[in-house]
Structure 1
Amino acid sequence: MQLALQRAGFRSLRIATGTALSLALSFGLDLPIPVIAPVFAVFLLATQSRPLPLKAAVVLALVVAVTTGSGLLLVPLLRHYAFAGVMMTALMLFLAFRYGLRGGNNLVATFLAAGLTMISAAGTADLQLAATVVGALTKGLLLAVLVSALAHALFPEHVSAGPKPAARAMSGDQAEAIALRATLVVLPAYLLAMADPASYMPIIMKSVSLGRQTCTTTARNAARDLIGSTLLGGLLAIVVWFALRLFVDLWMFFLWMMLIGLLVGRKLNGLSPTRYSASFWLNSLVTMIILLGQSVQDSVAGKDVYTAFAVRMWLFLAVTVYACFMLLLFEKRGRRRAGSTRNAVPRP
């Protein structure tokens, strides 16, 4: 029991330290989209009990190449044959989510979905913006991997603890239905971002996070897990924003982020019992990082932070409610299908 608590404590410290450090470094180094690194650091540290081995790092590097290449190749198609381009993007999103559900690496699937949508949406407006997004994704992923390795070195996993078990592969029909649902969750935000990529890039990141979450959430818990985690993420962003106004400093940003990371990490790793799922707390942390990071950028750019936050929060909630609707729709369709199948079975 003591060993299990110590292991959970180290995992919570890894999540808090890695997330806060990647966030501080992203803003300190003035990366193009600074929220990318901490978001991917959260996914890495929450899903991996050990640092990425060399082979996995090489695979991620190849994913970067494939993502950037496929996203840029879609740009001419989207510009000249918009409908065909959107359908091709939807197909590639479906294949990325299906790959993760069929036993593939969920991190790779998430990065493929995020990179494909962000790069192609940016390219429809400006190729220079697409190149900026490519650079942001590459630098953000590299920073997340390096910070993750450092966090594991500072708080290593106990030698008796093996790697986290791989996610159970779903059957073909089930994986295809859930992958289609996740794709339909992402598509509206993608279409919105194509109209103004610079303003709506955070919506794509949120929708990809929601698409990932809908792969593990049931319709029964949809409102609590999806809407509740979005509202909690917004509340945490507001709290940290006003706390930062007391001492406007990068180190204070790091410390506040570490505190929130510790609180969420305790919930994620079972140190503080809760009736909410791990995906609820993970999505809350990701939502807070995106909202808070964008508000900091708006402040630096001299924009009206409160109006921008209100609009962004409203859009996040709209995307989340739509995701809940898709969950309910697909589950209702699945129950109807199962009922018709049972009725079709001949009785002896």
Structure 2
Amino acid sequence: MPTECVRREPRAQRALRLASGTALCLAVSFGLGLPLPFIAPLFALFLLAKLDRPLSLKAGLGLTLVVMLTTGSGLLLIPLLRYASFSGVLLVGLGLFLAFRHGLSGGNGLVTTFLAIGLTMISAAGTADFTLALLVINALVQNLLLAVLILPLSHWLFPEPTDAQPVPAEPPLPAEEVGWVALRAALVVLPAYLLALIDPAGYMAIILKSVSLGQQSCTATVRNAAHELIGSTLFGGLLAILFWWALGLFVHLWMFFLWMLLFALLLARKLYGFSPTRQSPGFWLNSLVTMIILLGLSVQDSANGKDVYSAFALRMGLFIAISLYAWLMVYLLDRYRQGRAMRQPDC
């Protein structure tokens, strides 16, 4: 009877599926030595959080093709960024605005994410070296293919109950607010993109964090922006520190998998509402994203013989800085909109 109860509870299945799929993708990507291996569990996390049904083979291949096209769009901006930098940055800003506007107007959120990553990561890498941009595209496609392959396995292990209600879609924004929110999200991403133009290899992970913050800012309000944006970043950093300490007790790939399974499961319980909390699902999702990015980069630093702690401190400081900036954008644009509405005469 308890087993049947668990099977009929869709939230339990979704939490187990998200945690196991993310942890398995992490272990396989690091075990195979994929380039930028921490991106695979991020993609798996996004897919499992957004989809309550497995992708068909056709849909999976279609998604991979979409990613190749959207990320490849950044290649078209490389000549403009090299020879007309200001115009190129403005064009990237416009592309980010249109991408976020597409997602807020009812478009596919995954396509929005990949398009934002392609416009920023690929074009920034290409300004330093065209070969580096191709390597980043190759890394993104390989990691996405792994995440797409893990997705049906996770659904097979923890299938969705047949009588379960689909995951409720986020309520659409009023038409007059879509443009403002998309502009706010684009402005959140741009500073991290400018840093990446200076040093693509050093600030590539900052772009991933800023894209996550940009999407999170789409649902944040002035009242909860500090908790949503800054609080989730700080909490994700704390989780990364605890995870690193726990992993140091016994360093092994399978322990890496088991610890990730535990941490992801604890956050998935909050994400799907098993434990009462005042924080939104976006808070817990962004905390997990922050933890995976910081932890994955620290593992790579350790393998390459770099100073893990100084690199972590620098990245955490940058993450906090862009989170503060994201909150400031939410606050200033909201104040501007309110002042603009008060100045307009009533019809």
TM-score interval, normalised by the smaller of the two chains: over 0.9
Which residues of 2 match residues 62-73 of structure 1 at below 5 A?
62-73=65-76
Distance, in Å, in 1 between the alignment partners of 2:277 and 2:106 is: 28
Question: What are the ranges of 5 or more consecutive residues in structure 1 without an aligned counterpart?
Answer: none
Q: Is residue 263 from structure 1 mapped to residue 261 from structure 2 by the alignment?
A: no
Match of 2:107 among 99, 104, 123: 104
Q: Is residue 245 from structure 1 mapped to residue 239 from structure 2 by the alignment?
A: no
After the TM superposition, which segments of 4 or more aligned residues of structure 1 sit over 4 Å from their partners? 2-5
1:96 and 1:112 in contact (8 A); partners too: yes
2:67 and 2:141 in contact (8 A); partners too: yes
Match of 1:34 among 37, 50, 58: 37
How many equivalent pairs are there?
A: 343
1:229 and 1:284 in contact (8 A); partners too: yes
1:240 and 1:256 in contact (8 A); partners too: yes
Of 45-54 and 285-294, the range deviating more from structure 2: 45-54
User: Alignment identity in percent?
Assistant: 62
Distance, in Å, in 2 between the alignment partners of 1:165 and 1:6 is: 16
Q: Is residue 94 from structure 1 mapped to residue 97 from structure 2 by the alignment?
A: yes
Q: Is residue 206 from structure 1 mapped to residue 206 from structure 2 by the alignment?
A: no
SS of residue in 2 equivalent to 1:32: coil
Tell me the TM-score normalized by structure 1: 0.95
Of 328-337 and 70-79, the range deviating more from structure 2: 328-337
Of 258-267 and 25-34, the range deviating more from structure 2: 25-34
Distance, in Å, in 2 between the alignment partners of 1:287 and 1:160 is: 34
1:115 and 1:137 in contact (8 A); partners too: no
Following superposition, the deviation at residue 6 of structure 1 comes to 2.2
SS of residue in 2 equivalent to 1:219: coil
Distance, in Å, in 2 between the alignment partners of 1:74 and 1:57 is: 27
Match of 1:338 among 331, 336, 341: 341
Distance, in Å, in 1 between the alignment partners of 2:38 and 2:118 is: 14
Of 25-34 and 289-298, the range deviating more from structure 2: 25-34
SS of residue in 1 equivalent to 2:162: coil
Distance, in Å, in 2 between the alignment partners of 1:209 and 1:171 is: 22
Following superposition, the deviation at residue 59 of structure 1 comes to 4.0
Distance, in Å, in 1 between the alignment partners of 2:195 and 2:181 is: 23
Which string of whole-angstrom CA distances, capped at 9 and with x for unpartnered residues, describes residues 266-306 of structure 1? 00111111111000000000000000000000000000000
Tell me the TM-score normalized by structure 2: 0.95
2:71 and 2:115 in contact (8 A); partners too: no
Match of 1:118 among 110, 116, 121: 121
Question: What are the ranges of 5 or more consecutive residues in structure 2 without an aligned counterpart?
Answer: none
Which residues of 2 match residues 51-90 of structure 1 at below 5 A?
51-54=54-57, 56-90=59-93
Following superposition, the deviation at residue 132 of structure 1 comes to 1.1
Following superposition, the deviation at residue 5 of structure 1 comes to 7.4
Which residues of 2 match residues 1-348 of structure 1 at below 5 A?
6-54=9-57, 56-341=59-344, 344-345=345-346
